[in-house]
C-alpha cells in the first residue's frame, strides 16, 4: 500500500440553488423528466464566484482539517475544465492563496476524471519519496460552458469545488487503474478559442485539413458550449466504472463485496444504479449527492469525500473505490483505505 491516505477534506458550494422547477422556466422540461432520467432535483450555480475562489476556499478547509502545515505541502495539483485564466494555472493560483510556498503546482486535464487522475499522480510522487504531502483541488464553474437553451445538457450540470490533502499517517492507496480512449472522444466535446490573428489568410497547407473529426458528430461545433451524445456517454460511463472498479479490486486482491464505499463521479443517478447492479453491490454502499448538486465535473468526487467526512462515513480502516469518467474519453479508479 502506498502511504498516500486522505488526511483532510474540504469543499465549497455556491449559495445559488437552481431547482428543476427553475429549469422548467427556461427550457421545455419538467421536474418529473429530470428526476426520472437523472436523479437530479437541484444544482448549485456560481453567483459570480470564480473557479479559483471556490478552489481556494475548499483547499483551505482541507488543509485545516488535515492539520498539515501548508509549507510542508510539496505538490499542488488542480483539476478543472473551467479555469478563470489560460495561465497561470489554477494550481498556481491556489498555491499562492493557501501559502503552499515550497510546492510545485500544475493542473491535470482529464475532464470529469481529473480528481482520480490527480490522486494517482499524487500517490506516485509520494511513493517515489519526492514529496510528502500533496494538495489536490478540483474546482468547476461548468455553468460557463453550459448552453442554457439546450435542455439535454443544461439540466445536468452544477458548480462547486472539493479538495483533499493526501500523505502518510492514515490509510493509503492499494491500487489504481487509469485509462483513456481518445478515439471515443467525439461524444463529449467543448470547443476552445479559435485561431485568430492579423496574418490569418485561411489558405492552409495541409491537404487533409485540420478538422478534428468532432464536427462529423456535431456540425454546429462553433461556440464554446458543451456538446454531448447522452446515450453514448451513458453507455461508456457504466462500462468504464464497472471495468475500473473490477480492475482495482482484482489488482489489490480484494473482492468487490469487501469494499465499504463506492465514491463515483456524480453524473447521473441511473449510471450509479446500473454500476451497482453490474457490480452486484447494494446502493447503500454508494455515496450519492447527485440529487442536490448535479454534475460538478471533476469536483464531484472530492465534494462527496468531504460530505463523508462531515457525516461520519469517513471511518479509518474502511475501504473505498473512487471511480471517475469523462470527456477524453478518460476514466479510472483507485482503491483506498480511508
Ligand atoms: N426535458 C425533457 N425532455 C428532454 C430533455 C429535458 N431536459 N432532454 C432531452 N429531452 C428529450 C429529447 O429531446 C428526446 O426527445 P425526442 O424523443 O422527442 O427526440 C427525449 O427526451 C429522449 O432523449 P434522450 O437523449 O434519448 O434521453 P436519455 O434517456 O438518453 O436521457 C440524458 C438523456 C442526458 C439524461 C442521458 O443520456 C444521460 O444522462 N447520459 C449521460 C450524460 C452524462 O453523464 N454526461 C456527463 C459525463 S461526465
Measured from the CB, is residue 247 less than 6 Å from ligand 1?
Answer: no
* CA pair distance 332, 10, nearest whole angstrom: 22
pLDDT tens for 57-82 read 999 999 999 999 999 999 999 999 99
Q: Is the dihedral of CA 298, 304, 305, 307 positive or negative?
A: positive
Mean pLDDT of 255-277: 98
* Residue 288's pLDDT band (cuts 50, 70, 90): very high
265 is catalytic: yes
Burial 111-128 (b: 16+ CB within 10 A, else e): bbbbbbbbbbbbbebbee
Strand 133-140 versus strand 73-79 pairing type: parallel
What's the whole-number average pLDDT of the chain?
A: 96
Q: Is residue 207 scored above 80 in pLDDT? A: no
Minimum CA distance residue for ligand 1 atom 2? 29
Check if 29 has its Cβ closer than 6 Å to any atom of ligand 1: yes
Radius of gyration of the chain (CA): 20
Q: Say if ligand 1 is within 6 A of residue 155 CB.
A: yes
CB 140 within 8 A of CB 299: yes
Domains, in order of start, for the chain: 5-169 (3.40.47.10), 175-185+226-337 (3.40.47.10)
* Distance separating alpha carbons of residues 132 and 126, to the nearest angstrom: 6
Could you tell me if the CB of 262 is within 6 A of ligand 1? Answer: no
Look up the pTM and report it: 0.97
Q: Measured in angstroms, how far is the CA atom of residue 30 from the centroid of ligand 1?
A: 12
- The answer to whether residue 249 is catalytic is no
Terminal C-alpha separation, the chain: 12
Catalytic residue among 92, 112, 154, 249: 112
Res 211: pLDDT: 74
Q: For residue 199, what pLDDT is reported?
A: 87
Distance in Å, CA 37 to ligand 1 centroid: 7
Going by their DSSP bridges, the two strands 261-264 and 319-326 should be labelled as parallel
pLDDT of residue 212: 81
Q: How confident is the model at residue 206 (pLDDT cuts 50, 70, 90)?
A: low
Instruction: Please determine, for residue 128, whether its predicted confidence score (pLDDT) is greater than 90.
Output: yes
Task: Using the predicted structure, report yes or no on whether residue 200 has a pLDDT greater than 90.
Answer: no
Question: What's the Cα-to-Cα distance from 288 to each of 95, 102, 224, 301, rounded to whole Å?
Answer: 30, 36, 30, 10
Ligand 1 center to 236 CA (angstroms): 15
Cβ-based neighbours of 267, under 8 Å, separated by 6 or more: 112, 156, 237, 290, 295, 300, 325
Torsion of CA 246, 249, 254, 258, to 10 degrees: -60
Whether residue 266 has its Cβ less than 6 Å from ligand 1: no
Atom of ligand 1 nearest to the CA of 111: 48
Per-residue pLDDT for 205 more than 70? no
- CA dihedral (316, 321, 324, 325) in degrees, to 10, reads -170
Amino acid at each position: 500500500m502506498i502511504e498516500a491516505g486522505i488526511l483532510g477534506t474540504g469543499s465549497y458550494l455556491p449559495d445559488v440553488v437552481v431547482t428543476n422547477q427553475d429549469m422548467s422556466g427556461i427550457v421545455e422540461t419538467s421536474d418529473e423528466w429530470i428526476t426520472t432520467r437523472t436523479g437530479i432535483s437541484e444544482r448549485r450555480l456560481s453567483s459570480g464566484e470564480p473557479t479559483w475562489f471556490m478552489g481556494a476556499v475548499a483547499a483551505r478547509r482541507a488543509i485545516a482539517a488535515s492539520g498539515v502545515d501548508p509549507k510542508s505541502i510539496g505538490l499542488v495539483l488542480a483539476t478543472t475544465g473551467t479555469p478563470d485564466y489560460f495561465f497561470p494555472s489554477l494550481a498556481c493560483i491556489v498555491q499562492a492563496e493557501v501559502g503552499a510556498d515550497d510546492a510545485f503546482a500544475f493542473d491535470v486535464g482529464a475532464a470529469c476524471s481529473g480528481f482520480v487522475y490527480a490522486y494517482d499522480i499524487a500517490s506516485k510522487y509520494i511513493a517515489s519519496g519526492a514529496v510528502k504531502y500533496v494538495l489536490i483541488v478540483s474546482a468547476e464553474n461548468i455553468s460557463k460552458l453550459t448552453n442554457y437553451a439546450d435542455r439535454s445538457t443544461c439540466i445536468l450540470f452544477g458548480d462547486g469545488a472539493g479538495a483533499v490533502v493526501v500523505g502518510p499517517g492514515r490509510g493509503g492507496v492499494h491500487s489504481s487503474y487509469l485509462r483513456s480512449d481518445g478515439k471515443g472522444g467525439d461524444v463529449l466535446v467543448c470547443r476552445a478559442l479559435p485561431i485568430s490573428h492579423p496574418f490569418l489568410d485561411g489558405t492552409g497547407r495541409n491537404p487533409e485539413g485540420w478538422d478534428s473529426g468532432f464536427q462529423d458528430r456535431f456540425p454546429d461545433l462553433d461556440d464554446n458550449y458543451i456538446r454531448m451524445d447522452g446515450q453514448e456517454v451513458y453507455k461508456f460511463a457504466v462500462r468504464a466504472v464497472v471495468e475500473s472498479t473490477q480492475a482495482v479490486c482484482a489488482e489489490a486482491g480484494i473482492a468487490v463485496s469487501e469494499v465499504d464505499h463506492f465514491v463515483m463521479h456524480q453524473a447521473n443517478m441511473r449510471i450509479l444504479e446500473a454500476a451497482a447492479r453490474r457490480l452486484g453491490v447494494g446502493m447503500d454502499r454508494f455515496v450519492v449527492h447527485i440529487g442536490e448538486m448535479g454534475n460538478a465535473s471533476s469536483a464531484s468526487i472530492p465534494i462527496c469525500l468531504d460530505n463523508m467526512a462531515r457525516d461520519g462515513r469517513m471511518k479509518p480502516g474502511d475501504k473505498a473505490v473512487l471511480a471517475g469518467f469523462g470527456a477524453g474519453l478518460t476514466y479510472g479508479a483507485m482503491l483506498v483505505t480511508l
